[in-house]
Amino acid sequence: MKKTIIILLILSTVSLVGCSQETLENTSNFNEKELFIDRENAESLEILLDEYDFFDSVIDMYYSMPNLAEYEFYTIDDVLYTDYYFLENATREEIQNSKSMFMDIFIVNKSRPIGISSPRELIEMNLNWRQVNYRVFIGDTKIVEHNMTFDVGVIESSYFEDTSAELPSRYILTEEMQEFKRRVKRKYWWNMKKVSFQRSFKGEVLFIRFETRDEVKDNAIDYIKQEIELNLANALAKTSEEIYVTNQDYLGIVIEFYKGDKIYHQETCYNGNEKYWFSEYWGNHDFVKTRELLQ
């Protein structure tokens, strides 16, 4: 009964947002040696189906990822690790396909009456994980880590995404962003070297990166926040609402200020009907649930 409750709860959280959350340390600028956990007791997860590797088969048939260099699925006791290693020119669709595969195969046990479905052996394993971990590496950099822990019908979720890496698969520039960029660079032309935009793999969050020659003062940051709150945020929300009825693409706007490779300021705007700013790590903020509570 316990596992049945857990699966029902997971099915209601396909958006990868947990029912309760714990902090996952932001490991940007990590030492590469820290990428890999101690695998002394790790066991590779391999499933054969009609003498063929099950995971290779479902990737080929359902989850196109031509720039996937390799993947590793392994267990340590009752914890599952799923690691996807992509080449640097991987597309956004490929990253999303890896997330879809993780959810379909290891979380919701997606059934395909016609096609390849998970064998009973794997389904039974999935009912007994204490924790599952989804990680994406692009080049030699860990870009995404999402952990889900199951305990007596409760799902604890932790999400990390490295915002410092500028990736073609996250690049975005709409007319609204272009106009905001022009206004900011025109006002602070002597100090603002670059303004760039990336869309999080989490889906509903936009990153704005400001690269400056010198650290900007608080009044400049306040001006930029006001420009976002009064103009950019509303314009982006309207664009998303025209497609989905509700704002699904830009519920969070993360601003980051860099001098060289050093980040010296980060804040996040919750872009709902009621807007507010917070400085806590954005990755574990439930933007969708907040929107529902404030409606």
Query: What would the pLDDT profile of 212-267 be if each residue is shown by its tens digit?
Result: 999 999 999 999 999 999 999 999 999 999 999 999 999 999 999 999 999 999 99
User: Which has more pLDDT, 10 or 165?
Assistant: 165
Confidence category of residue 65, pLDDT binned at 50, 70, 90 = very high
Q: How many CB atoms lie within 10 A of CB 47?
A: 17
Show the CA angle centred on residue 57, arms to residues 54 and 59, nearest 5°.
110
Confidence category of residue 294, pLDDT binned at 50, 70, 90 = low
SS3 16: coil
Share of residues in the chain with pLDDT > 70 (%): 84
Q: Return the minimum-mean-pLDDT range out of 16-25, 77-86, 98-107.
A: 16-25
Mean pLDDT (whole number) for 34-61? 79
User: Which has more pLDDT, 204 or 40?
Assistant: 204
The angle, 0 to 180 degrees and rounded to 10, between the axes of the packed helices 175-187 and 233-244 is 180
Q: Where are the beta strands (DSSP E) in 114-204?
A: 131-138, 141-151, 154-161, 192-199
β-partners of residue 208 are: 197, 255
What is the location of CATH 3.30.70 in the chain? 175-290
Residue 54, exposed/middle/buried by CB under 10 A (0-12, 13-18, 19+)? Answer: buried
Looking at domain 175-290, its CATH architecture is 2-Layer Sandwich (3.30)
198 in Cβ contact with 207 (< 8 Å): yes
Mean pLDDT (whole number) for 103-124? 85
Question: Does pLDDT of 4 surpass 70?
Answer: no
Q: Return the minimum-mean-pLDDT range out of 86-90, 151-155, 174-178, 184-188.
A: 151-155
Mean pLDDT (whole number) for 164-188? 96
